[in-house]
Amino acid sequence: MVTVLSAQREKDLRSIETDKRTEIDFVNHRDESVVIYWLDYQGARERYLVLDSGDARQQPTFVGHPWVITTMGGHSLAVVLPADRPAQATIT
């Protein structure tokens, strides 16, 4: 299971070096598109994808790499931390 953190935690997070591969299955149940960002090793957002309403995407990643979900306007909705095995992150 992924760990979901409040959007306010984004400023405290950054990716850490690791070789433990995993994946997150992002599923968008909102009535609008969302943007998925990876937080790099300095904590900066790197845009990875736009996920339309009703769509899903499997995203390869590493344990210790946080992901930020935002509205199309950039407003943070949540931060997701991957699990040590593939898991789903449902966006509502």
Q: CATH number for the domain including 44?
A: 2.60.40.780
Q: Which domain holds residue 81?
A: 3-91
Residue 90 pLDDT = 96
- pLDDT, one tens digit per residue, over 12-71 is 999 999 999 999 999 999 999 999 999 999 999 999 999 999 999 999 999 999 999 999
52 within 8 A of 33, measured Cβ to Cβ:
yes
Residue 61 pLDDT = 98
Q: Residues 76-80: what's their mean pLDDT?
A: 97
- Neighbouring residues of 12: CB distance < 8 A, sequence distance ≥ 6: none
DSSP secondary-structure letter at 8? G
Write out the two tokens for 47. 């845009």
13 within 8 A of 34, measured Cβ to Cβ:
no
DSSP secondary-structure letter at 47? E
Give backbone dihedrals phi and psi of 56, rounded to 5 degrees, phi first: -135, 155
Count up the domains in the chain and report the number.
1
